[in-house]
Structure 1
Amino acid sequence: MLKLLALIIYGSCITALSTPSPDIQARVINGIFVNVTKTPYTVSVQENEVHMCGGNIISKDWVITAARCVPVLSDNYTIRAGSTYHNKGGSVHIVDKIVLPPGSAMNEFGFQVSDLALLHVASSFILDQTRKPIKLIAYNAQLMPNSTVTIYGWANIAMTPPPGLHYVSTTVIKKSVCNETFSEFYGIFDNQSCVATYNLCRKDSGDGLNYNNILAGIVSWSEICGNENYKSIFTELAPYRFWIQRTTGV
């Protein structure tokens, strides 16, 4: 096992997503099953061979996910790519470097201010119809309210069909509405927005927001999955494009 090269000193474990009750702990609740060839950039971020979060391939050597998905130093993070299922098939790649945005910190509620992480793999992805990088949003672009996005993620192993890729389509909502929804946490951070879906759950952090085949955001958290009174928060990628480019060359 390669020794993980940590570029950032991590603090305590992040547990922003509440633990759902057993009957709603599925990921992408009521999503539509999809083959990995329809979303070849979507990967499973794993620790000790257990699915923890989603992620997206952005080059043959890099994946982007949420910082909360890699909260502690570990040699045991891996990426499963090129498979419709998070527990079999495709290829498994050891994560040998983790990079967080400059100034990453947690607020008083334990929420990551810049909830993004770049993961470098020790062995490059072999790019084919099941493993491809997704194009990133431009630095000066912005997702407007009512924009339709698609989110790809992984279903719970206890669900039928098996723990395969699913997706939901949803819309971006106004930041003012999002701030009101999460007012008990003093609203959202400047570089965050919300989507209207409440279908995203604990292990959907790191999933990508696909806008016209462009990666525009990364799912961060939701207060109570499966509760229609709460929406899902994502981190906007446009404000971080220069950091991503400096780090990965993408």
Structure 2
Amino acid sequence: MLCRSVLIFACCAALAVGGSPAVLGEFPWHVSIQLKNFYLTDDLWAHWCEGAIVSREYILTNAGCIYSIHELRVVSSTLDWKIFDMVHNVTEMVRDEVELGRRLSLWKVDPPFEFDNHTRAVQLPARFAESLPGTEMTVSGWGQFMPSEPIDILEKYRAPIESRALCSIRFPGYDWLYHICVDVARNETVCSRRGFGAPLVYNGELRGVFHNKYDCNLPEIYTEVSLFRDWIYRITGV
């Protein structure tokens, strides 16, 4: 039980204060990944990570969100992670195949998603499409302010892409080949940290998946989805 408590602090992060509430159907691909007995309280399930629907059977999220299949579920088509109609069991998890550190994971769900105005797959980027510096993108997520106080309503905010050259100076020795650097400080004046797996989108296209943030004064780090298109297609067929 102690290990799980430690894992909670390592895996969960806070959504940017000052973000605006999302509208139902605005991010129809966004799902809440929930963990059983997460807070060791009377609540049976609690928000664990973010994810994005990529097909009727699969979501894409951070590899760090992987846990026991039997203690996870996926909730779709909702703005409030605690109020929902659609629940999906997790039947399979596949990590990416990058040799120097795992970053992404694809999860198969059952039952499959039923697409409508409030639930559908996110558009995937072209193979090797680059997220250019200065491009303003949108992040959505629930995240958490504290391990015992999850945000109930899905929120969003916009932030520009920072150059890899500048981020390599801010993060000496960090491998930027597979990552996007997002300068939240330009739009948000408070410390913001995301829940693992939060999607970064540009015109409805999934460009990044939240990977990490080390300091309130430093940019956020997302995994560049376009570099994993072959792997995503091989697993999901999309």
Q: What TM bracket, shorter-length normalisation?
A: 0.7 to 0.9
Q: Secondary structure of 2:169's match?
A: helix
Q: Which runs of 4+ in 1 moved over 2 A?
A: 17-20, 155-162
**Which of residues 13, 38, 56 is equivalent to 2:52?**
56
Residues 110-165 of structure 1, C-alpha deviations (whole Å, 9 max, x = no match): xxx24111010021111111111011000031111111100010154889996111
**Which of residues 196, 199, 224 is equivalent to 2:183?**
196
Q: Is the 8 A contact 2:11 2:64 kept in 1?
A: no
Q: Secondary structure of 1:194's match?
A: strand
Aligned to 2:197: 206
1:155–1:69 CA distance, 2 compared to 1 (3 A): closer
Aligned to 2:208: 217
1:66 matched to 2:62: yes
Question: Structure 2 stretches of 5 or more lacking a match?
Answer: 1-5, 37-44, 186-190
Deviation at 1:73, TM superposition (A): 3.5
1:155–1:141 CA distance, 2 compared to 1 (3 A): closer
Aligned to 1:78: 73
TM-score (norm 1): 0.79
Q: Is the 8 A contact 1:77 1:95 kept in 2?
A: yes
Deviation at 1:230, TM superposition (A): 1.1
Q: Counterparts of 1:47-126 in structure 2 under 5 Å? A: 47-48=35-36, 49-70=45-66, 72-103=67-98, 113-126=101-114
Deviation at 1:30, TM superposition (A): 1.7
**Which of residues 170, 177, 184 is equivalent to 1:181?**
170
Count the aligned residue pairs: 219
Q: Secondary structure of 1:120's match?
A: strand
Q: Counterparts of 1:126-141 in structure 2 under 5 Å? A: 126-141=114-129
1:19–1:43 CA distance, 2 compared to 1 (3 A): closer
Q: Is the 8 A contact 1:18 1:223 kept in 2?
A: no
Deviation at 1:18, TM superposition (A): 5.8
**Which of residues 153, 171, 176 is equivalent to 2:141?**
153
Q: Is the 8 A contact 1:217 1:235 kept in 2?
A: yes
CA RMSD of aligned residues (A): 2.7
The amino acid of 2:63's aligned partner reads: A
TM-score (norm 2): 0.83
**2:149, 2:115 → 1: CA distance?**
30
Aligned to 1:143: 131
Question: Structure 1 stretches of 5 or more lacking a match?
Answer: 1-13, 106-112
**2:237, 2:201 → 1: CA distance?**
21
**2:181, 2:204 → 1: CA distance?**
19
**2:26, 2:203 → 1: CA distance?**
13
**1:129, 1:157 → 2: CA distance?**
30
**2:133, 2:197 → 1: CA distance?**
21
Deviation at 1:52, TM superposition (A): 1.1
